[in-house]
Amino acid sequence: MTTETLTPPEQGVPDMNNMRKIAMWVFLGSEVLFFGSLITTFLIYRTRVGDGPSASQVFDIPFTSISSFILLMSSLTMVLAHHASFRKDWRQMRVWLLATAALGMVFLAGQVFEFTEFVDHGLTVTTSPFGSSFFLLTGVHGAHVAVGVLLLAATAFMSFSGRLRDGEGMNVEIIGLYWHFVDIVWIVIFTVVYLLQV
């Protein structure tokens, strides 16, 4: 690809960090199709509510707008964490990593609250194809956020021991790629699943 990879500094020693970044991009390409299929399933079933409640009857747009805003802010803190790791300011980096994880957890808490509200209104996975596809799509997205929170927390705590220091900047950058991707997917979900359905 680049001249850097064609003439490695030491022959036979590939640039690990560069490869991990490529791998994350490739993996995210796969995730696009994954969420694409889930969103398609939802769009086919969005009006098939059977006897259960419809989207406009259960969705609380102001609430979800706030939790969406919180998730978007976590992308800002993620950028700050990456920037700090770039400057090798490990203390700042840890602060922003943990802030990102915390914002992610607030978003998840909001999702749990929202789910229980919907169940109270009579919308479950077995109510209607709308319910099945809504909970699967948002649930899978929530699981992605949860994995991201774990990765962020693990990186922050492991940086205390100094074990990952060599590749730390790259770790943060790769997790950042993942985190921003999950955020972008939420922007699509919030638009397509929430705003367009009420």
Is 150 among the residues that bind other proteins (CB under 8 A)?
A: no
* Contact pattern from residue 24 through residue 43 relative to other proteins, giving x for each residue in contact according to CB under 8 A and a dash for the rest: --xx-xxx-xx--xx--x--
Site for other proteins contains 160 (CB under 8 A): no
Contacts of 53 (CB under 8 A, 6+ apart): 121, 122, 123, 127
Identity of the residue, 49 or 93, whose beta carbon is nearer to other proteins in the bound complex: 49
Nearest to other proteins of 87, 165 (CB atom) = 165
Q: Which of 16, 147, 187, 188 binds other proteins (CB under 8 A)?
A: 16
Distance CA 76, CA 55 (A): 30
Residue 56 binds other proteins, judged by CB under 8 A: no
> For the chain, what is the HEC assignment?
CCHHHHCCCCCCCCCHHHHHHHHHHHHHHHHHHHHHHHHHHHHHHCCCCCCCCCHHHHCCHHHHHHHHHHHHHHHHHHHHHHHHHHCCCHHHHHHHHHHHHHHHHHHHHHHHHHHHHHHHCCCCCCCCHHHHHHHHHHHHHHHHHHHHHHHHHHHHHHHHHCCCCCCHHHHHHHHHHHHHHHHHHHHHHHHHHHHHHC
Q: Does 100 bind other proteins (CB under 8 A)?
A: no
Least distance CB 50 / other proteins (angstroms):
5
When asked if residue 54 is in the footprint of other proteins (CB under 8 A), the reply is no
Our finding on whether 85 is near other proteins (CB under 8 A) is no
Can you tell me which of 11, 62, 91, 120 binds other proteins, judged by CB under 8 A?
11
Among 12, 62, 91, 120, binds other proteins (CB under 8 A): 12
Shortest spacing between CB 66 and other proteins, in angstroms: 29
Which residues contact other proteins (rule: CB under 8 A)? Answer: 1, 5-7, 10-16, 18-19, 22-23, 26-27, 29-31, 33-34, 37-38, 41, 44-45, 48-50, 125-126, 128-129, 131-133, 136, 163
